[in-house]
Amino acid sequence: MNLYQRLENETQKERAYLVSSPVIRRCFAGDVCLSDYIAFLSQAYHHVKHTVPLLMATGAALPDDKEWLREAVAEYIEEEMGHQEWILNDIAACGADKEKVRNSQPAAATELMVSYAWDSIRRKSPLCFFGMVFVLEGTSIALADNAAVSIQEQLDLPRNAFSYLRSHGSLDQEHIVFFKNLMNKIEDVEEQNIIVHSAKMFFQLYANIFRTLSQDTAIQEVA
């Protein structure tokens, strides 16, 4: 079994924990409010702004026999530059103060996920980062477009309030194909195990961001 198949097969329980998060279920049941969406975007900002620095750290830490993977990381860096600003612009399009979000502190669950990302790359292996990619890109493709449609219909927000979600939806299919091909080149079982374990951890950590989104915190941050 190749690594991508392992990732899909061996993370089903953790994926279910994410998609069953109450705020996600409410979103698709037509029960979401503006503060929910702003809270999501606020926490997305706080972890997305680490994506490029994490990619840089990953590329720098890869061994010489993973030069082909370092080249792929360089492509990711170019594509991911500035995405945190897209999120802030979405927040502004919702009528909130993006600078207050920029200068706010992340929620505990967000800080823990970011901390684990940095720690696992440095303490264990740079390959851990690819578990995070699997979770964030795979989840985005599965949920983002439908979530954007549902939220826009419920809240009557302008289309330019969804640049982040829509950019990570079906238009991101090429990214996941690229990622799948990369992962299937990793044949060493121990290296595969590192990435599978990382993905399981990131599903749980990412789910906890959704499960602890606070409408009150979001309102306080952007008021």
pTM > 0.75: yes
Rounded CA gap, 151 and 154, in Å? 5
More confident residue, 152 or 167: 152
Can you give the pLDDT at residue 141? 67
In tens, the pLDDT along 162-199 reads 988 887 765 566 778 889 999 999 999 999 999 999 99
Mean pLDDT, range 99-122, rounded to an integer: 97
Can you give the pLDDT at residue 67? 96
- Cα 137 to Cα 22, 24, 170, 171: the distances in Å are 21, 16, 11, 11
Position 110, amino acid: T
Mean pLDDT, range 67-80, rounded to an integer: 94
Domain ranges (residues) in the chain: 32-222
**Residue 220 pLDDT more than 60?**
no
Burial of 12 per CB tally in 10 Å (0-12, 13-18, 19+):
exposed
Mean pLDDT, range 19-43, rounded to an integer: 91
Reading the block at residue 60, the tokens are 């720098």
More confident residue, 2 or 142: 2
Nearest CA among 208, 62, 74, 67 for reference residue 135: 208
Mean pLDDT, range 12-39, rounded to an integer: 91
Residue in the block written with tokens 């080149």: 185
Are 195 and 127 contacting, i.e. CB atoms less than 8 angstroms apart?
yes
Farthest-apart Cα atoms in the chain, separation: 51
Exposed e or buried b per residue across 139-177, where buried means at least 16 C-beta atoms within 10 angstroms of its C-beta = bbbebbbebbebbbebeebeeebbbbbbebbeebeebbe
User: Looking at the domain covering 32-222, what would its CATH class be?
Assistant: mainly alpha
29 band by pLDDT with thresholds 50, 70 and 90:
confident
Can you give the pLDDT at residue 175? 76
